Structure 1
Amino acid sequence: MLQLSWLPKPSSEWKKQFVEGMELSGNDLECWEFIRKNCQYDLSISDIRRVDKAISSIFMDGVPDGLPNAPIRLAILSSCTIGHLLSAIRVAAARRNLWIDIYTTDFGQYVHELSDASSALYAFKPDIVLFSLDSHHATASIASAKEPIVAREKFLAHLQWAWRTAREGLGATVIQQTFLPLFPTVLGNNEVRCEHSRNATITWLNDRLRHEDVLLLSVDAEVAQDGLAAWYDQMLWYRAKQEIHPMAAAMYGDMAGRLLAALRGLSKKCLVLDLDNTLWGGVIGDDGMEGIALGQGSALGEAYLAFQEYVLALKQRGVILAVCSKNTESVAKEVFEKHPEMKIRLSDIACFVANWTDKATNLRMISQTLNIGIDSLVFADDNPAERAIVRQELPMVAVPELPEDAGLYAGALARSGYFEGIRVTDDDLARSAQYQENIQRRKLAEVTTDIDAYLTNLDMTMIWNDKITPVTLPRVTQLINKTNQFNLTTIRTDEGEITHLMNDPHSVVLVMRLKDTFGDNGIISVITCQDADGNKTEKTSDLRIIRWVMSCRVLKRGVEQAAINLLAMIAAQRGKTAIIGEYRPTDRNAMVADLYERLGFSKFGEQEDGSTLWRLDIPRPDLPHHIHLEKA
């Protein structure tokens, strides 16, 4: 079995404790939390199936009451046997607090079901479609083709048709599984030059997939690390048409689970680093600057240097860096400031905490300082005792198991998939600087007793646009899917739907970015609206807010007032007489429960689940704010 080595091993009593715990669990949410907690281990295949069976037997009627994240409807369209992978996918989703319903087509019937709008696939209405097509299917026509290049181009065109049909016909996000390089070579080292070779075709296909506008489940990259034998057994293919080995099911499921979580904005945001024996070898307080292992000249020092380089690569793609260490702050910072081999500098760290307080308390403080959810943190510490304590005190924090060899740290963190991403945006690249600038803003607020003077001194300009470009589309989608606290309805979306809204004359999409004296905050808010449908409570002259999300980095600066002023202006230009807003409560968006009331809306409806409806008549006086509005 391919191990999920970044997860802790379950105890020898795990099975007994799991069975007993399930018998003692109370309501749906308590059962779900118990199950989710027990998914945080490197479980055997049999234990994964045991957890999956518990999920299906307890929640026979569907999604547990009170689940914070909306369920995902996943359709897997396959040309081979995949039933042995489903338990691992569901358990991997539960590990990330996601409920998932899976639909699979009958063996080899994916083309038929895609082509038939009356099929069970269309009735299922998937949110996401995963194409899990085997390499034999992909290369079936190559070996005997008179023109192999034409044949492989034809298969790629078939894939493009399938993706387009899933997007347009089903309205689904598409994931394409890459192809396993499982065929024996016929030319050897220069196999790619053999046009009739099936292996060369797989190499060509996988390369082309990486240049297509489609999300990938890159099993070929994992095979490159683990070896083909860990992922594929020729005899299992002959006997059962299973391409993915059952012993690789846990890894496959986790790869799928982390990709689904990333699509829902549930990837981690911040890497919190211990220092001694994590970023360098030795203890700085005891060994001194000259005594720690770091940099060229020793194998151990080079290993820590390589880990630091990987950490900086994460920062470059948008991961926030923080430090949480039991150390004297001045002593710890001196390494960052003066050690000639130190790659990570203080300017790379958004929040630096070094003291003798317990690490769980410090992690809470880091979360508060950065104004991000504590479940957005990944804590890397070489000490197994510290890891265990943090897991116990803060089960929502991801704490990967680090190997004893520092040279393996980067690989372990990479393989954990905690920072799984869909794509890198300009805002991702600027994120670390934005959080550091935000700390400077807080410091200014702390020394300014007059809030109006503070806001005026920030000299803020909100640059807005009612058009989305190919450059801003990924960030807009990312902000909608990742924002949980300032999110009025938590209705998620994808790039396809946003593009559709942009072309819909009955919709409005507003994108806002904020600049101030400390720098550019990037895109910080998105509002999508639609013309009301003229039901009993709303008139066709109303504009209804479908989604309103805002980065918590810019709260308490009057941005929400400026945004609603802007929306009211645009609504008036469209001939609207009122704006309708809805608040749907979750376990994480209580901070905006009274937002519409604070902005002058009147409540006119309330549902049993706590959802409320609000109306703001137009025209009305602008709300006071200290922000200049500027159209892009």
Structure 2
Amino acid sequence: MILTDFPYTKDYRSLNNNPARYARLDKRLEELSGELMPLRIAILSSYTADGLRPFLRVELARRGLLATLSVMPFGQFEELILDPASLLYREDPDVVVILTRPEEMAADGTGQVQDDLLNANVARTRLWIENIRHFSDAQILVSSQSISTPSLWHISDVMDCHSGPELMVAQANRQLATICGTVSDCYLFDSDAVIKTTGLQEWSDEKMYYLGRIPHSTTAKIALSNALARHVSALRTLPKKCLVLDADNTLWGGVIGEDGLGGIRLGGAWPGNAFQNFQRYILRLREKGVILALCSKNNKEDVETVFSDHEDCLLKLEHFGAIRANWNDKASNITELAEELNIGVDSMVFVDDSPVECGWVRENLPQVTVVQLPSSPLAYIATVEAFEAFDILRLTQEDKHRANQYGEERQRKVARSEAKSLEDFLYSLEMKSQIEPVSPSSLARAVQLIHKTNQFNLTLHRHSEAELCSLMNNGAVALTLRLQDKFGDSGIVGLAIGVPNDDSFSQSRECRWHIDTFLLSCRVLGRGVEDLLLASLANYIEKRLAEDSPLILIGEFKSGKKNSQVADFYPNRDFEAVDGEKGFWVRNLSKAPLEIPAWFDLE
């Protein structure tokens, strides 16, 4: 996400695509070594990519990352990937970026890109990815295929249904996306979209390519660096969870309390159609898992009338996870919205057209990302997008369903208020749970939980996909918990990882297991789900042991900024403190087994 308080914001805005200014700013970045997150990046390319260095470092710094870049020699990048003792792996990068062009990798003797050669290059790329994953835990970004040399396009290409460049590139990129989806922590970087957005004529510098295999113009280097930095940032930082929206002059033009339902501008002709398109964009964010909330200084009945009765209003009341339409100050309302949604204010993005309201929220809730909209609704979407607050490289099924889950949760709250007792309520939910080992289909969600869960997270370990796969390959048990009830499917909401043969506290190794990770989504707490997951982990481990072997389970708690509520999790379940080891707790399950709460139907 773009840093709004980047120390060199003024300098950055004055860059105007000037490479000398980028270079000067790049040299000053070391002054921020204590403020930015360090990151090691290796770049492998089929052309000379050293010129990206100052642009990419500055763009990464704007997103909170201080990069050490290792640009590998372009003529040797394939050998570096295949050799486990090469400089690539000795550098131990956090992220590996692969940048290739079909012009170098899939062209025949005449310089034309050929379909069979492009397919062969996709197969080679698979080999590169698999080798990097085998020798390194680095996250991998692979550029999509795109022909960026203008002279290789011809006016007749659009009519070539069999081997036209667009068709060839699209097929190759579909294959690459499939390959990346099957390898842990590997993602496709859509360089083709960057080239099209920038413009093919603006992209290439043919003279520099002939002189030094440098294909990019200055404009291209900046555009490519900006897009790469955005992708890397999405790999290393968490997206925001909630979009908090003003109503008047944000979701529609005008003021509903003054103009009335027929007087506001929404749909139809300009400018109402621009506001309606902004609503379409908001709905697309919701489909990607962004929670919507409304925060408006208005009479609630007036606002609700727009959503229910205006024929051109695409947003409806059910699309919002929570609503505050009153005359209270917006900082207080946002705080209440966060409490109702059970999320932190630091995961919220507030969007408003009023500089007064935006200033008030910035001053009173500095953790909230504040987006002040411009005067014209034409720029609304671009303004929100510029913050990159909701960037995510891989969506899970839980992401797609998340927005609907808040409506389901409201139904549960009604049922709880009507139940005679907590136990009656829990039985009435008709909860069904699935406890399963982490699989290729659930791996992305498991890692997402690891990185996003802060409150009910006992160890705060932040394993990558590659690290989690390594743990499992070395004998660890990693279980996901999926929960559904009569109101809906909550998806995968829990993860527990047990690691065998922990000998930190005893010479007896065969039956001691250490709980490396134990976490749950906060929206399912209060139903005994934590006891279900803990008992299931123990049961699963016991099935691996000899019949008469006792299981010694060792729990760990690491204190963080937001997980104080689970500090007593283990002692409250009769685990005993380990002498001389602060934060560790132990329980002999042969003497005191764990039980699954009776109201769960465990599949």
Task: State the 1:617 CA deviation.
Answer: 1.9
Shift of the 108–602 alpha-carbon distance from structure 1 to 2, 3 Å rule, reads farther
SS of equivalent to 2:494: strand
Q: Displacement of 1:512 after TM fit?
A: 0.6
Go from structure 1 to structure 2 and tell me whether the alpha carbon gap of 1:350 and 1:49 turns closer, same or farther (over 3 Å shift).
Answer: farther
Q: Which amino acid aligns with 1:422?
A: L
What is aligned with 1:486? 456
Deviates more, 1:37-46 or 1:367-376: 37-46
| Cα displacement (A) at 1:595 | 2.6
Aligned to 1:600: 574
**One-letter amino acid of the counterpart of residue 118, structure 2:** R
Which of 264, 267, 272 is the aligned partner of 2:244?
272
2:491 is aligned with 1:522 = yes
Match of 1:12 in 2: none
Counterpart of 2:404 in 1: which secondary structure?
Answer: helix
- Corresponding residue number in structure 2 for 1:81: 48
Q: Is the CA contact (8 Å cut-off) linking 2:427 and 2:599 kept in structure 1?
A: no
Matches within 5 A, 1:75-224: 75-98=42-65, 100-141=67-108, 143=110, 148-183=114-149, 184-190=151-157, 193=160, 202=169, 205-214=172-181, 215-224=187-196
Looking at structure 1, the residues matched to 134 and 271 of structure 2 have their Cα atoms a distance apart, in angstroms, of 53
Partner of 1:290: 262
Q: How far 1:204 sits from its partner (Å)?
A: 5.2
Tell me the distance in 2 between the aligned counterparts of 1:585 and 1:577: 26
Q: Using the alignment, how far apart are the partners of 2:357 and 2:22 within structure 1?
A: 27
Alpha-carbon separation, structure 2, partners of 1:528 and 1:84: 43
Distance in 2 (alpha carbons) for counterparts of 1:579 and 1:221: 51
Q: Deviations over 1:43-76 (max 9, x none)?
A: 73677656654442463xxx77xx8x8x644322
Shift of 1:345: 0.6
- Give the one of 432, 437, 447 matched to 2:408: 437
1:464 to 428, 432, 435: 435
Report the counterpart of residue 584 of structure 1 in structure 2: 558
Deviation at 1:323, TM superposition (A): 0.9
Q: Aligned equivalents of 1:275 and 1:614: distance in 2? A: 51
Letter in 1 for 2:406: Y
Q: Residue 513 of structure 2 aligns with which residue?
A: 543
Q: CA deviation at 1:260?
A: 3.2
Q: Residue 122 of structure 1 aligns to which amino acid in structure 2? A: Y
For the residues of structure 1 that align with 2:306 and 2:568, how far apart are their CA atoms? 47
In 2 relative to 1, CA 618–192 (structure 1 residues): closer, same or farther, beyond 3 Å? farther
- Counterpart of 2:195 in structure 1: which amino acid? V
Deviation at 1:337, TM superposition (A): 1.3
Q: Is the 8 A contact 2:531 2:597 kept in 1?
A: no
Matching residue of 1:397? 368
Residue 265 of structure 1, CA deviation: 5.8
Deviation at 1:321, TM superposition (A): 1.1
Q: Distance in 2 between matches of 1:493 and 1:622?
A: 29
- 1:553 alignment partner in structure 2: 523
Q: CA deviation at 1:288?
A: 0.4
AA aligned to 1:79 is: S
Q: Quick check: 1:279–1:307 contact (8 Å CA) kept in 2?
A: yes
Alpha-carbon separation, structure 2, partners of 1:578 and 1:389: 54
1:225 paired residue number: 197
Give a deviation string over 1:468-497, Cα, whole Å, max 9, x none. 444433322322232233223333344455
1:369 aligned to 340, 351, 359, which one?
340
**Does residue 1:234 correspond to 2:206, yes or no?**
yes
C-alpha RMSD of matched pairs (Å): 3.6
AA aligned opposite 2:261: M
Matched residue type, 1:307: F
Q: Summarize deviations over 1:268-297 as a string: whole Å, max 9, x none.
A: 22222111111111111110000011123x
| Aligned twin of 2:184 | none
Contact 2:42 2:96 in 1 (8 A): yes
User: Contact 1:231 / 1:244 at 8 angstroms: preserved in 2?
Assistant: yes
**Residues 421-440 of structure 1, C-alpha deviation per residue, up to 9 Å, x if partnerless?**
22332222221121222244
3-state DSSP of counterpart to 2:578: strand
SS in 2 for 1:108: helix
Tell me the residue number matched to 1:17: none
Assess, with a 3 A threshold, how the Cα gap between structure 1 residues 456 and 180 changes in structure 2: closer, same or farther.
same
SS of equivalent residue, structure 1 residue 182: coil
Q: Secondary structure at the match of 1:290?
A: coil
CA contact (8 A) 2:479 2:497 kept: yes
Write the distance in 2 (CA, Å) between the matches of 1:592 and 1:353. Answer: 30
Q: Distance in 2 between matches of 1:520 and 1:130?
A: 37
**8 A contact 1:462–1:628 mirrored in 2:** no
Deviation for aligned residue 1:99: 5.4
- Deviation at residue 529 of structure 1 after TM alignment: 1.7
Stretches of structure 2 lacking an aligned partner (at least 5 in a row): 182-186
Tell me, yes or no, if structure 1 residue 531 matches structure 2 residue 531.
no
Q: C-alpha distance in 2, partners of 1:592/1:370?
A: 19
Kept after mapping to 2: 8 A contact 1:568/1:619: no
The corresponding residue for 2:271 is 300
CA distance in 2, matches of 1:605, 1:356: 56
CA separation in 2, counterparts of 1:443 and 1:49? 59
Kept in 2: contact 1:272–1:380 (CA 8 A) = yes
For this pair of structures, how many residues does the alignment match? 589
CA contact (8 A) 2:251 2:275 kept: yes
Task: Report the counterpart of residue 28 of structure 1 in structure 2.
Answer: none
Residues 48 and 73 of structure 2 are in contact (CA less than 8 Å); yes or no, is this contact kept in structure 1? no
Provide the rounded CA distance (Å) in 2 between the counterparts of 1:496 and 1:171: 5
Deviations, residues 596-630 of structure 1 (Å, cap 9, x unaligned): 333332332778xxx73222221354667755444
Instruction: Give 1:521 deviation, angstroms.
Output: 1.4
Tell me, yes or no, if the aligned pair for 1:143 and 1:198 is still in contact at 8 Å: no
Query: Residues of 1 paired with 2:561 and 2:220: CA distance?
Result: 35
Whole-Å separation in 1 of the counterparts to 2:28 and 2:413: 47
Q: Which of 388, 412, 417 is the equivalent residue of 2:388? A: 417
Paired letter, 2:480 = V
With the length of structure 2 as denominator, give the TM-score of the two structures.
Answer: 0.85
Change in CA separation of 1:331 and 1:47 when aligned onto 2, cut-off 3 Å: farther
Relative to structure 1, is the Cα distance of residues 192 and 492 closer, same or farther in structure 2, using a 3 angstrom cutoff? farther
Residue 370 of structure 2 aligns to a residue whose secondary structure is coil
In 2 relative to 1, CA 527–315 (structure 1 residues): closer, same or farther, beyond 3 Å? same
The residue type paired with residue 114 of structure 2 is P
- Please tell me whether the aligned partners of residues 138 and 155 of structure 1 are also in contact (alpha carbons under 8 angstroms): yes
Q: What secondary structure does 1:463 align onto?
A: strand
2:101–2:147 contact (8 Å) kept in structure 1: no
- Residue 132 of structure 1 contacts residue 177 of structure 1 at CA under 8 Å; is this kept in 2? yes
Displacement of 1:350 after TM fit? 0.5
SS of the counterpart of 1:103? strand
Amino acid at match of 1:267: P
Q: What is the deviation of 1:250?
A: 5.4
Pick from 304, 311, 330 the counterpart of residue 340 of structure 1.
311
Residues 372 and 308 of structure 1, relative CA distance in 2, 3 Å threshold: same
